[in-house]
Structure 1
């Protein structure tokens, strides 16, 4: 399938079909507002268009999303001429394995957007954690999806060594730097966080790996487990500000040791 075919999968071929409401979408997953098959009831499901920048195209890609008229949270995506739940969209194969996949195709880029902007920002964060929302992922940022049993359940993104620091024309990242890392709540505490960090280390074997500050307590906990298990990595993992140059990086292991005292 080429890129233009992928774009067509998100196009609205029949405007009348926009009123279709699959039964799985009648109950808002956030506020439990009930909507009947005609879009009436306690609340309404309304469509909204989102422009996604995709580096392979000169213009933005418009993706149609369904939102709950009561709580304003996303509910589904228009895909292959029907409303599709996010869980269904994120099921991309039937392979019973756990793998990572680099984001290169349009669908994988949209999977990344759904994970960061919908599942993380709207459903996994509490009202007191809105300051932890992810920014929309840049169209050209290196990212890999985490896939378990055919379902996309997480991702991490990396500012690559040598890339320009955001907004700068001169300053460049001094090491690969993990900018965001996310695993859906129901799949946590399975060792998958360590798997993602090890995967990021494998991008440039033997080289330093930074993590953009601020680093969450949960990520520090995962780093602690990793560095206790693998002492050889203790001088390779850094907590970074700015580009991670001298004066803007701190040893993750030293900070973890200090917290243990």
Structure 2
């Protein structure tokens, strides 16, 4: 189709598609399914199970927080569980979720900025589908303009983090802008925890803005995130006076020095807490200038992050 060996490649490795093309392809496919309710097409979800592909088993999922222009991807789910996705429709075919998160490109290693639409689909898939028991209990959608990096390890996407840049708007209804770069969301896949990826992403964030005097982490910090920052600051004393927990837009009245508050015992590390956090969580500020702080870590073994 593209003059490439598709059998050896994955969606992120194929020529990228734009938002309009992705949305159009989804609409056309849904229309075709509605016109042929008995297509007798099946998707092999596991070695022993397959799912029928019909209009009742396919639903569009919104990719970004902002609704206009619309950008959706199609998900296939079992007929008995509409909250569970087993495949995504990309590049004219159905792909298993594991394959959407894979790459055959050697250049994708470590932390790589998400530039293409397929890379943004990977961020969506990690935060909304793969690491959640159901689509109804997912992370908040990210704005399409939000900066993010995907962490690649052994040809798989194992996590990501997002950043609110200095000077970017805090929200869509005020003129307030962030006064410093802010690390907003961190996620590590369950199967890849205890390997130091949380600290690796925090280190990359700090290194990426080395010219900035102060850096922020969106408030409130989860207990698991506090533990990650504590381990990082124990190793990197030079950042102790520069990392702040902040509320938007990040003025001095909206900042708290993280290391100082760790030393004062104002954070709960939650080392014995397992309920509600081991699969990630979203905490939302009250007020118009809210920030999102999420962290996906293993609370039972934070010393190995």
**Which TM class, normalised by the smaller chain length?**
0.7 to 0.9
Q: Which structure 2 segments of 5+ residues have no match?
A: 1-14, 268-305
CA contact (8 A) 1:92 1:151 kept: yes
The count of residues paired between Structure 1 and Structure 2 equals: 243
2:185 corresponds to 1:183: no
CA distance in 2, matches of 1:260, 1:60: 43
Q: Report the Cα offset of residue 94 of structure 1.
A: 5.1
CA distance in 2, matches of 1:200, 1:19: 49
Aligned in 2, Cα 1:73/1:234: closer, same or farther, shift over 3 Å? same
| Corresponding residue number in structure 2 for 1:194 | 199
2:187 corresponds to 1:166: no
Matches within 5 A, 1:116-195: 116-122=127-133, 133-195=138-200
Q: Which moved more, 1:185-194 or 1:68-77?
A: 68-77
CA distance in 2, matches of 1:212, 1:19: 49
Aligned in 2, Cα 1:80/1:96: closer, same or farther, shift over 3 Å? closer
Q: CA RMSD for the aligned pairs?
A: 3.4
Aligned in 2, Cα 1:91/1:2: closer, same or farther, shift over 3 Å? closer
CA contact (8 A) 2:51 2:78 kept: no
- Describe the superposition over 1:201-224 as per-residue Cα deviations: whole angstroms up to 9, x where unpaired: 122114222111121111111101
Aligned in 2, Cα 1:247/1:120: closer, same or farther, shift over 3 Å? farther
| Corresponding residue number in structure 2 for 1:59 | 69
TM-score, length of structure 2 as denominator length:
0.69
CA distance in 1, matches of 2:120, 2:40: 26
* Runs of 4+, deviation exceeding 4 Å: 8-19, 35-40
CA distance in 1, matches of 2:190, 2:39: 31
Q: Report the Cα offset of residue 52 of structure 1.
A: 3.1
| Corresponding residue number in structure 2 for 1:100 | 111
CA distance in 1, matches of 2:247, 2:19: 41
Q: Report the Cα offset of residue 251 of structure 1.
A: 0.7
2:13 corresponds to 1:7: no
Q: Report the Cα offset of residue 69 of structure 1.
A: 3.6
